[in-house]
Structure 1
Amino acid sequence: MGRPAIKLALQVVGAALFVSGAMWALQGLGILMWPAGSFMLAQREWALYGGVTALIGVVMILLGQRIGRGS
């Protein structure tokens, strides 16, 4: 697996983690009340889990960009 493939993998997985984590955090905070049957709605622990997941996603995206610069 070459650098372009690793870069792409980090950025795609990182973006997926960021979006998922942000959604979990918003659901946990009671801001995003969708889907109506979700067990995460207004559950503060999911705000924490989502925030951590989104942060990991951002780190992965940044690592992918760094690899792209040859560092």
Structure 2
Amino acid sequence: MVKAAYVLGTLLVLVGLVWIGQGSGYFPYPAESFMIDQTPWIYWGALAAAAGAVVIAQARRRSR
């Protein structure tokens, strides 16, 4: 169960970083993506990355 939480948390952080990159225009891939240069995706990405960090922190706490 702890390994699944680590995987889920890591995926959330990575997806959040991609969303932040696309929303800010630093990661314009694919070029026809509707997320490029759209500020709301920066906020959604930050929320997803923060949620992933919380999941990882809880998994670390449970593994002790």
In the alignment, what sits opposite 2:56? 61
Detail structure 1 runs of 4+ shifted over 3 Å in the superposition: none
Q: Which residue identity does 1:66 align to in structure 2?
A: R
| Aligned equivalents of 2:16, 2:50: Cα separation in 1 | 8
Correspondences of 1:33-48 after superposition (within 5 Å): 33-48=28-43
User: What TM-score do you get using the length of structure 2 for normalisation?
Assistant: 0.95
User: What TM-score do you get using the length of structure 1 for normalisation?
Assistant: 0.86
Q: Which residue identity does 2:31 align to in structure 1?
A: A
Q: Which runs of 5+ in 1 are unaligned?
A: 1-5
| Aligned equivalents of 1:37, 1:63: Cα separation in 2 | 37
Does structure 1 residue 17 correspond to structure 2 residue 12? Answer: yes
The secondary structure found in structure 2 opposite 1:42 is coil
**What's the Cα RMSD here?**
0.7
Structure 1 counterpart of 2:24, from 22, 26, 29: 29
Query: Rg bigger for which structure?
Result: 1
Q: How many residue pairs end up in the alignment?
A: 64
